[in-house]
A and B are shown apart, each in its own frame.
Chain A
């Protein structure tokens, strides 16, 4: 068997071990590669920045265990960003798992805030918790919060939460942000918040979902999009608050470069093998 054929038939496990090393190295020894801010991330940052101080913002948290490392940093940073603008945040989640991970990222975001910024549960933010029903749940919540959910994530009655006094429909909010993870729920936000209530909407999702949402960005239905760990890293860079996403994005870059080399090498070796007439 020729060397070309041997390389084409290499055991996948060897490639995985090299991938492991390629990804682990930049995590253990952080290196910084040049980064260009993507237009969608810039738009999302500009949108978040343009939300007037003191606004009520509706936030969907759809990250789960698998997507939280990539998209969670953007959510925690969004909490930090909005709190420094004295905005009131109302969170809800369309996945059961998302309720836990959203609360975790809220805590991370609150932990970064200086002591002078008010960030009291029930006064500056409230987590309504898991809402069953997917798109139907989102539509019901947008139409009437109290008929959809009566207690928040911690079991507190919504009627006793001060910041919810005059808030009951999507009309009461000035903006919304949809952290959809990989659940594919961002179109729910477009269909149930943007179209019926004309609520400006920004979003975050995993990298693979980004191409699906570009038509919404093109049409102006989404004001911006943080896509994957790179989107989160760019948000951290634009905010000037370095976090976990910047370190991860460098590891992703190295891993992506390795994958690209494998694809190129695989194609070159395939054509060499074919030119030699090897089977």
Chain B
């Protein structure tokens, strides 16, 4: 019997190595992997969403006679009208409804969850160094965006120092965000490499590297693939 997990790892390994060839430059292998991935993902998402509608709407109509779900099925079908530019306006109604419901549900607790509690959480820990930095950072960063006292020109007086401090805090925050993003991307690389270097898979991964290398070398040497210049 075929081990599907192992087969999945092999396909994944081939896909990852093929996708990483984009680092040399865009080539037919990287484009093929990209398109296959997008195709599979789209198909999978469609199947999962269809399954959700089938399990929770159609099944409920058939088994329990809950005809209210017909409305949701009609709204789903209206979304498909986007495929024809002439009928695209029909799809705007379910989109508007979805956004409206989503915003309504989010807003009911946003004021408390994302504003009041955050302010409370910022003010209360005044007895720790972190708390003091948090308060000074928050206030000075907010003042950086007070355009009413600083429009068209440079800030003056004591406000200038607060403004510059806010700028400093913002730059530190952006730096942290950049560092965390690099770290996250690195984790993605490590995660994928971990899978392709698993003891059972590694030998096949090396073989894939060699095969893809030969194909690309042939393509570039015969000028069938245009060399990418950075």
Interface of A with B (CB < 8 Å)?
A: 11-13, 16, 19-20, 23-24, 27-28, 66-70, 96-97, 99, 129-136, 139, 148-151, 155, 182, 187, 190-192, 194-196, 206-211, 215, 218-221, 228-229, 244, 247-248, 251-252, 255-256, 259
Contacts and interface: CB of A to CB of B under 8 A. Distances in A.
A149 B98 CA distance: 18
Contacts of B51: 130
A262 to B, nearest CB: 10
Contacts of A133: 98, 102
A27 B190 contact: yes
Contacts, number: 153
A219 B121 contact: yes
Given A11-B230, A149-B56, A219-B120, A248 B187 contact: yes
Please provide the 6 A-B residue pairs with the shortest distance between their CB atoms, ordered closest to farther. Answer: A69-B191, A219-B121, A96-B48, A208-B184, A195-B109, A207-B184
Contact of A27 (B49, B120, B180, B197): B197
Main DSSP-derived SS at the A contact region? helix
18 contacts: A13-B230, A27-B190, A27-B193, A66-B191, A69-B187, A70-B191, A97-B41, A182-B184, A190-B113, A191-B114, A209-B184, A219-B118, A220-B117, A221-B113, A248-B187, A251-B193, A252-B187, A256-B182
Contacts of B49: 96, 130, 132
Which interface residue of A132, A209, A218, A247 has the most chain B CB atoms within 10 A?
Answer: A218
Contacts of A150: 55-56, 59-60
Nearest to B185: A208
A63 to B, nearest CB: 11
B129 interface: no
A68 B56 contact: no
Contact of A69 (B102, B180, B195): B195
Nearest to B46: A96
B54 to A, nearest CB: 10
Given A27-B193, A192-B109, A208-B177, A70 B102 contact: no
